[in-house]
Structure 1
Amino acid sequence: MLATLLAALLAGSAPAADCHIGAYRLSDGSTLDIAPTDTDALRWRHIDGSTGKLTRAANDTWTSTLGWTDRPDGKDVRFVDCAKGKLSFDGKSGQRMPLQVQETSFAGDGGTRLVGRLILPPGQAKVPVVVLVHGAEHDSAMQFDAMQRELPAQGVGAFVYDKRGTGSSAGSYTQDYGVLASDAVAAVAEARRLAGARAGRVGYRGGSQGGWVAPLAATRTKVDFVIVGYGLAVSPLEEDREAVALDLKLKGYDQSVIDKAWELSDAIGLVLSSNLTQGFDQLDAAKAKYGKEPWYKDVRGDFSYMVLPMSDDEIREKGKAFLSWNVPWHYDAMPVLEKLQTPQLWELGEDDIDAPSGETLRRLASLQAKGLPITTALFPHAEHGMTEYEMKGRERVSTRYSAGYMQMTIDYAKGTWHPPYGASKVVMPGNAATP
């Protein structure tokens, strides 16, 4: 998940909000989200999981490319009257929905000023409210998290906030899950305060690194549910080992190669988890031993691939950022999950090479077998972010979100369940065999 952060740090600055951004009701009754990107393009997302990048063609007409590919998908978007929220999408007319928006600031852990936003569906009826806990990214959730509109467009309130050290919030960026969980507790209190009588079921949705933070926060405050998207029940160090193994296996290497690659991953893990005080000798020895092996170039992991090309001096210099983030490298999620009685939904990608789901699913199955209220959903051909993909050479290019993923999220927040959800393999509480 640190890989996601690195990509975010290298991305451009966030664009200013404009009249195009919003949730739209189309003439066929479905909803469409138009979101900003880190360039001057826009991105549309449909509730069925389809998505595309919009590039301005002429005036306020935009052309779409499939998913994150460069292939035209034949869908054109024309903003008929942007100021009044009118558009035409793929031959259907659309009107921007009048969602209820409240901007706020509140005190997180240690009094740090955090900035957030509550978005509710139109009307006065009671609705579920989901507090969005985002991952390791360094960008602004208030700017880029499309769920803040996708959920209200489907009748579920959303509270989004910039975590400390990102966007408009104060404080220093951190990956200290304890601090972030305390911030999430404060976010739930603020969401309830703003929603007032409209607040029905209130819970968390944590994506990626948020899958460690949201359950921990749920042990510190009363919530009705926790939804985890492509999160983990293993530690960050175990994540990297599992990611190294899965990626090599997918490339056709056997366990003997994986065992050798783990020597590299374990040495890198020791360097980072010891605050750059240990592990350099082990890493240098492993590099010398395996640096000319044909599989060496294919060692990826979650963070190993970032460190492998560096010299010891470069690691010491660039690794200073890791020290300031206070990453809990050995974090054990199981004691938290073992005592958490809050109903949980874990949505995982079968082909996730950033946060592999195998060991996490096994651990969750052991908790299900003990009677804990955990539901797991494994989406085939889905990777980190719950996107499906195609291969371009040896690289993956995302084409869409998994069918059923967003509807499952919405239904669970509402306390309803209407399967099937795409091709996901669902295991309900009490139905898991002892692993």
Structure 2
Amino acid sequence: MRRVVVAGLAAVLWWLLAVPGAWAAVVTRAPGVPGDLKAVEVTFTGDGGLVMHGTVLSPARGGGARPRPGIVLIHGAGTGTPRTKLMGEAVEFARRGLSVLVYDKRSVGYSLFERSYAQLAGDALGAVAALREQPGVDPAKVGVWGLSEGGWVAPMAAARSRDVAFVVLVGANSQQPLLQQAWAVHAGLRAAGVRGRLVDGTEPDLYRVLADGELFPEPYYDPAPTIAAVRQPVLAVWGVHDLLTPARESSAGFAEALRRGGNDHLTVRYFADADHAAHRTPDRGVTRLPELAPGYADLVGSWVTDVTSGRPPVSGTSGPAPVQAVPTVPVPPVDWWEAADVQAGALVVMLAGFAAYPLAALARRVRGRSRRPVSAAARLLSAGGLTVVLGSFGYVMYAVMTGAKLGSPGPLVAGRPVVWLALQALAVACVVATAVTGLAWWRGRAGVTAGERVRLAALTAGGLVLVPWGLYWGLLLPGL
């Protein structure tokens, strides 16, 4: 039942997890390869026996008889993401003397509601095995590079196999996925000027309900134990203007987990004027340019060369401090009274009660049996209740969908969106209308027919449920 009733919330994840409409069966070949590089098309077996397709880019000349280091690129979130999305990184890394395998991400077993980081790590290890077999590649010098969601996958692949020689992370998270996503939207809305209960309570509570309704896959995955199991050298990169990852907290989490596991080989580098993917950004992380941050590709090339040549990596942190305007927002699992099933039940009662009142009146009018309502407040409760429930649901969806990177909440008054303030005022009016309708029904009960009693009972039930529901979501807390 919860999937059917709460599935409307899926639109949030569709936007925020950046799911493109691609299929695993579609093979995306590399675009025109620069003349200083050569490309080889490869297939390999991913987790569960899935046949996957990729491209290996390598320098066209040079290297002599000395085998090259290799690096496998692991995508961020999105089903069936084509390899072309990371071709810019692949080209630049190959120009630094590496053989780079970039592959089309799976969509089989990976969707809006379903994914497994362990399965994605299996795909990455299949790619590592394929790259280790390529001519000119030193099989002992192949590592992994993970972007965003790939920052959860790459450490898992490294912890599972010693065939992985090193780990490079970009825009990675040492927090749970649900915590990271709630933070990104929370930070985006606050950057747009939103204050109060909507951003500090309603938004994170929405993600908690999504997780409980199984609409957010792997919400409480804890990456710390996996990171602690990584023994390979790690290079972790963040753009100073990363608006999708709490960079300060993430870097500290990686350092702590690796230290706890006895791994002191962590190099952290922040890049100025760079976004979540370490690309250049002209507007503090909102827009991503095609170019990588100056010095980023050079760092990856030199760091990998040093690590795979037996020279210990330079551990430590360098670069300008990242901009993380707000700390992460706690998103613990829901209690029983705020669970997705309870929320779905409340929505059903309210929508049914508010909608049944005008529909019954319409049916009576068609049959020529219309009659005056027990109170004009009943009409206000019906129309206002529907507006509050559907309007607040729609507005919160909109605010959350546009909240990542930079929120678009509309006009604000004292940090409160005008639309939300209007919905709050209407919600208060509906509570008053519930009381007035109930009182009028009681006073005129002798003249109320059985059918009218059913209609009024459904309407007032919706109004009564609106009270705790509105308090939970902040609609009945006008000052917050």
**Of residues 260, 265, 274 in structure 1, which corresponds to 2:212?**
274
More strand by share: 1
Cα distance per residue 1:86-140 (max 9 Å; x no partner)? xxxxxxxxxx1242x3322222111111112222223543111001111113354
1:108 is the counterpart of 2:46: yes
Q: Secondary structure at the match of 1:106?
A: strand
| Residue among 201, 209, 232 paired with 1:263 | 201
**Aligned: 1:413 with 2:413:** no
Distance in structure 2 (CA, Å) of the matches to 1:179 and 1:227: 19
Check the 8 A contact 2:144/2:154 in 1, yes or no. yes
TM-score for both structures, normalised by structure 2: 0.53
Q: What secondary structure sits across from 2:145 in the alignment?
A: strand
Q: C-alpha distance in 2, partners of 1:4/1:15?
A: 25
Cα distance between partner residues in 1 of 2:99 and 2:81? 19
Letter in 2 for 1:151: F
1:97 equivalent to 2:36? Answer yes
In the alignment, structure 1 residue 382 sits paired with structure 2 residue 324: no
What residue is the counterpart of 1:401 in the other structure? Answer: 292
1:121 has 2:63 as partner: no
Out of 181, 193, 202, the residue aligned to residue 142 of structure 2 is 202
Q: Is 1:352 the counterpart of 2:242 in the alignment?
A: yes
Say if 2:271 and 2:319, in contact at 8 Å, map to a contact too: yes
Partner of 1:22: 33
- Give the alignment of 1:12-161 within 5 angstroms: 21-23=32-34, 96-99=35-38, 101-122=39-60, 123=62, 124-146=65-87, 147-161=89-103
The offset of 1:150, in angstroms, is 2.1
Q: Structure 1 residue 234 and structure 2 residue 178: aligned? A: no
Question: In terms of Rg, which structure is larger?
Answer: 2
Structure 1 unaligned regions, length at least 5: 24-95, 277-318, 428-435
Task: Give a deviation string over 1:353-377, Cα, whole Å, max 9, x none.
Answer: 2222122122123246555222111
CA distance in 2, matches of 1:110, 1:17: 23
Tell me the amino acid that sits aligned with residue 79 of structure 2. Answer: H
Letter in 1 for 2:180: E
Q: How far apart, in 1, do the equivalents of 2:258 and 2:122 lie? A: 27
Q: CA RMSD in A?
A: 3.4
- 2:46 alignment partner AA: G
Counterpart selection for 1:180 from 93, 97, 120: 120
Report the CA distance shift for 1:4/1:193 in structure 2 as closer, same or farther (over 3 A): farther
Counterpart of 1:390, as a letter, is P
CA contact (8 A) 1:375 1:426 kept: no
Once residues 381 and 148 of structure 1 are traced to their aligned partners in structure 2, the CA distance between those partners, rounded to angstroms, is 21
Distance in 2 separating the partners of 1:424 and 1:141: 31
Equivalent in the alignment of 2:104: 162
Structure 1 position 209, deviation (Å): 0.6
Amino acid at match of 1:386: A
Decide whether aligned partners of structure 1 residues 195 and 131 sit closer, same or farther in structure 2, where only a CA change above 3 A counts: farther
Cα pair 1:350 1:356 within 8 Å, conserved: no
User: Conserved in 2, the CA contact under 8 Å of 1:347 and 1:376?
Assistant: yes
Checking the alignment, whether the CA contact within 8 Å between 1:5 and 1:137 is kept in structure 2 is: yes
- Aligned pair count reads 290
Are 1:136 and 1:175, in contact at CA under 8 Å, matched by a contact in 2?
Answer: no
Note the C-alpha offset of 1:3: 4.7
Q: C-alpha distance in 2, partners of 1:242/1:412? A: 31
Matched residue type, 1:182:
G
SS of 1:194's equivalent in the other structure is coil
